Each structure stands twice: as C-alpha cells, then as structure tokens.
Structure 1
Amino acid sequence: MRIPDRLALSLIAGVTGLGVLCGHAMASAVLPSTSVLVINEADKEGSIGVKNTDKVPVLLYTKIARLDDEDLDAALIPTPAAVLVQPGETQVVRVLYRSNQSLDKEHLARVMFMGIPPKTDQPGRISLMLGQDLPVVIRPKGYKPVDNKWEYLKWRISGDQLCVSNETKYAVRFVNAVKLVPGDKNVSMPKPYSLPGSDNCAPLPSGYMPQAGAQVEFSAVSDYNYILDGRRASIEHVAPQAPGKMPSTGEVQRAQPDNEVGASAAPDQPSAAPGA
C-alpha cells in the first residue's frame, strides 16, 4: 500500500531579471491536511485544512474542476475561494454542495489549491507557484462503505480492445496503467477511474492473443487515496459477431482462475451501495 504523489499538477514560473539559469528560485507551497475531499450529500459540504509551508504569506486560491464525463447536476462552491494565509498557518476551506436533485450514485470532481507567493522585483529571482490537485468524492445520502469496491468492475476483451465497465453506484478509482497476465502486456486505460454506468476501452497491444485464464493486474485507489498494488480480476472474452448474428451460448467465454478476484456480485440496492 502506498500514497499517491499529491504534488500539484500545476507549476507556474514567473521569470524576471537574468532568467532561470542565472536566477534564484523562490517557491511557494501549500499542503492539504488530507489527500481526498469527501462531500456527503446530507451535510451539503465538505472541508479540508490547507497549510502554508512557506516562510512568507501566500494567497491561497481554490478552484473546482469538473470531469468531462460527469453528469453531476450540482454546484460546488469553494469558500473562501481566495484568502491570504500567513507562514505556518492552516486555512480551512469549505466546498459547498448545492443541488435541487437527490443523488442516487457517487460522483467525482477535482479540487486545486494554489499558493501564490508575493511579487518580487529582485533581479534574477524566479517565483514558483506550487499547488495541489486532489480528488473530490460526492456521496449520496445513505452511503454505506463497501470494501474492495474495485472487485465489482467488469473487465473484458472485445475485438482489439480491453474494456472496463462499472454497473454499480460506486465511483471506482485506479491507476490507469494496467497489465495483462500471463504475458505481462501493458495497457493504458483512457481514465484512472470508472464512473457508475460507464464503459471505457483501450487498444490492446499489437499481436496480443487472449489466453485461457487471462487476468488484468492493476493498482486500485482506496476511499482514502491509498494505492493498493497487485489487484487482479478475471477477463471476459467476447467473441466477434458476424453482422446481424445473435450471440450463441459458446460465444462468450469467461476465464475462471482459482484466485479470481472479480467474481463478486454487484450490489443490488443503490441505497446500500452508492460507493466511491
């Protein structure tokens, strides 16, 4: 088990004077108290502490990023969106959830914290703005935690693609670099998550031939943003169909290894399994 790198995906450099090679760097960094922000629908908000680890005051700027494939019909409002934080101090940032509709499944978003350093006019100085980009999980009322939710994902080979589908109410996160075994063939999935009701596919390695007992090995991400390596799930092989032909009983083959991980039945009740 390991914790993913929480260093910001954004790095903005303002170069003055003599430039990078001859200058001195002045970095500003902010550090969240947790690696994931959870918003419960019943609470209508979530909160997180963000510490200024620099020796100078920074302007803490917070922004919510929505995922392109999310259908969340709600407003996510950070407050305060911008605030001055003194050296060593921690600012509590709330993210308000506002919607006229009730949730029936989990949703995902991202929150970005940027520490903007004070302006410097000193020649040869470089001001760096370092930030943090964290996942936001929005949970419906009645949420009940379920362990190993990634076991409910369904992996299949369809034609020349590896696909993963999510038929549950959970939003499941994983590292998108996965491996086919046996053979140790690497596949890069298009997204590091699987939203409820989604189906995502990626091209198989050139020349790959499915084998009996084939599995996908991947790293799952827990509710608390821990990375759990070495998860495995069986792969269903969907045989190609001729145009207009209905699939017969023998055209869908599912590998059943002794240590199969993904054979658990998906939760039936949305209220009991709206998961993350």
Structure 2
Amino acid sequence: MLPFTRTLLCACLFVSFNSMAAGMVPETSLLIVNEGEQGASMDVKNTDADAQLLYTKIIDLPDDPKPGLIATQPVVRVDGGKTQRVRFVLKSSAEPLKVEHLKRVIFTTIPQREKNKVKMTFSQNLPVLIRPAGLELNLEPWKGLSWHVINGNVTVENNTPYVVRMEQQVKLLSSGTLATFDKTYILPGEKMTARAKSKISASEKQIEIYPATRYGYKASNYIAELK
C-alpha cells in the first residue's frame, strides 16, 4: 500500500473517530472558496444528543499566506442533532486572483462541561481551495506539470494556475528509483526538487506519480515525460 493511501486511510479513520466521539461532521472533505462569490459556506452537523461548541480556525500556509480568509463565526454553540452553517468571507485583494490558493481550516469540537466528568476536545483539519473568478475547472491539473532531471535530481515545475496535490513519493521509469518531495502539494508557479538515495540518471525518460483528486482521494497513477 502506498504511503499516500495509508495517509488517506488514517485521515478517514480519524474523521470517523471524531464523528463518533465528538459528533461534529463536516459535509465534505474540502472547502472550496470561489472568488466570484466572495466566500463560501460549509455545513457541520452535531450528531450527538448534547449541545457542543464548534470552534473554527483558518490556517495560512507559510508558502501561500494570501489572500486572507476569515470565518464569520469562529465560535458557535450547536445543539444536539442540529446543523450549523459556517460562513467564510474572502478578503478583498488589490488585484483579481490569477491562480488557485491553498489553506487549511480546523474545526474543533468542545463538549459542554459536566461536573465530575472529563471530556476531550477533537479537531478535524481540512484543506481549503481558493479559486479565481472565471478560472476553468480542471479535474486533472497534474497533467500540466513539467518534469526534469537536472544535475542528478528530479524536479517538477507547476506553470499552471492550479494547485496540484499528490503523493510525496514518485518513481522513475524504467529503473524503479524512488524519490521523495517535502510536501503533498505544489502551488502555481512553484518549483520543487525531490530527494533520492542516489543520483538520477539523465537516461531516465519517464516518471510515475500518484496524484490526488480535488477532495483528496487517490486518482489513477499518471506517467509523465521527463525532459
């Protein structure tokens, strides 16, 4: 089983555990924010019988801090069995967005205090994809990546306006050499170099990657040409 598959499996188990223990269930595994709508909403359901507090926090990634995004109700009480719609507002930019951006949103469940009882808090960490107004939908953005072997290293460059999510490990063909990137996504305009145990030969012509769909599920393996 690939590490990425294991990661997704663990994530699913984590969400399931949170759902059983804390009762708060987001409606999807990805928050999509469209610039043309100036924000987005996500429903979070409290499947427990008891009321709980829902704390929402936006996390800016160090390599992609802008544009700004805020949750209009960072802390809200959700009664048992009820659904809370969490609204997110995109801060205005000086210029229209030209490429997609990536953030994270953390939903933390805080149970009500009860005398002589200890209750745990639980969190769910989901990706946030911010899309420019008018940008055409691309369900296979990894096909636009450019791959190269430079000085014994494999590099990838994203000259598309799309965020690409993929497994950190890639495989060179036909040698079977494995190389690993430092993260599971590449931003528009970004260039990354993978680490391998030995230098990669310039004779390598293809590379096999393991991309993810917009919602984080494993897509079919993809073989790209090395230039």
TM-score, structure 1 normalization:
0.70
User: CA contact under 8 A between 1:8 and 1:131: conserved in structure 2?
Assistant: no
Partner Cα distance (2:65, 2:105) in 1 = 17
Where do 1:22-171 residues align within 5 Å?
27-70=21-64, 72=66, 74-101=67-94, 102-122=96-116, 127-171=119-163
Q: 1:86 to 1:158 in 2, by over 3 A?
A: same
Q: Which has the higher strand share?
A: 1
**How much does 1:232 deviate?**
1.7
1:181 paired residue number: 173
Q: How many residue pairs are counted as aligned between the two chains?
A: 217
**How much does 1:162 deviate?**
2.2
**How much does 1:147 deviate?**
3.6
Report the aligned-residue RMSD: 2.6
Q: Which has the higher contact order (CA 8 A, sep 6+)?
A: 1
Gaps of 5+ in 1: 12-25, 237-276
2:32 aligned partner, one-letter code: V
User: CA contact under 8 A between 1:7 and 1:131: conserved in structure 2?
Assistant: no
Partner Cα distance (2:28, 2:85) in 1 = 12
What are the Cα deviations for residues 191-230 of structure 1, in whole angstroms up to 9, with x where unaligned? 2111111011122223x54264543222212223332031
Q: Which has the higher helix share?
A: 2
User: CA contact under 8 A between 1:38 and 1:136: conserved in structure 2?
Assistant: yes
SS in 1 for 2:214: coil
User: CA contact under 8 A between 2:170 and 2:178: conserved in structure 1?
Assistant: yes
Query: Identity rate of aligned residues, in percent?
Result: 35
Partner Cα distance (1:6, 1:40) in 2 = 26
What are the Cα deviations for residues 82-132 of structure 1, in whole angstroms up to 9, with x where unaligned? 11112222111111001132111111111111111223443xx65332221
Gaps of 5+ in 2: none
Q: 1:129 to 1:184 in 2, by over 3 A?
A: farther
User: CA contact under 8 A between 1:177 and 1:186: conserved in structure 2?
Assistant: yes
Larger radius of gyration: 1
Where do 1:191-270 residues align within 5 Å?
191-206=183-198, 208-210=199-201, 212-236=203-227
Partner Cα distance (2:86, 2:139) in 1 = 29
**How much does 1:48 deviate?**
0.7
**How much does 1:53 deviate?**
2.7
TM-score, structure 2 normalization:
0.84
Q: Which runs of 4+ in 1 moved over 6 A?
A: none
